[in-house]
Chains A and B, each alone.
Chain A
């Protein structure tokens, strides 16, 4: 059983579409990160959330602590958004993260 579950596992969208990726977790957390990984590439941290909502450009991340759920939204999607998006939660004790298996997004021109 994974502490972090993401959905969908794979997502294909047309350029310009609004995209939502979901993350549910089963442990108490002190923070949640959304990460981006391009094929064969490194990992980039997009957001760190402990409550509420954050926006950066076309990306929006929200978290509901009571429901143990977070969403990553991409507005006006573009082919360069094609990547794997990973949800990671940090537990209050210790210093490690638990990771979802990622959502593979493909945006078609």
Chain B
């Protein structure tokens, strides 16, 4: 019973390139959350998705960032035209359907470095 799987673990991109971060939720979990952890800062909420729906994207930067959770396959966080300030650890979490406080599980994160 694999936990939340994120890949890659480490990603290096040059300024201006695109970064794609993947998150496969735990089996049975239909809700995915993305968080960003900037150096020396705490985790910040970015976006909350269910299959084929974005429920809450209030924490997403308005430009260059997008997220999806298709019917089949992992959730993808996409960052276009990356800049140095995008360098951070990006964590994904998944949970069972709304209404439960249990089973909220984090992935190991993707560490993005923009050079």
Contacts and interface: CB of A to CB of B under 8 A. Distances in A.
Which interface class (under 10, 10 to 19, 20 to 34, 35 or more) fits A?
A: 20 to 34
B55 interface: yes
B102 A48 contact: yes
B104 A99 contact: no
B48 A86 contact: no
- Chain B interface size, as a band, is 20 to 34
Interface of B: 31, 33, 35, 41-45, 48, 55-56, 59, 91, 95, 98, 101-102, 104-109, 111
Nearest to B55: A95
14 contacts: A33-B104, A42-B106, A42-B107, A42-B109, A44-B106, A45-B105, A50-B101, A90-B101, A94-B48, A95-B48, A96-B48, A96-B59, A100-B42, A102-B42
Nearest to B91: A43
Contacts of A109: none
Interface of A: 2, 4, 30-31, 33, 35, 40-45, 48, 50, 86, 88, 90, 94-102
Given A35-B106, A41-B108, A42-B108, A94 B42 contact: no
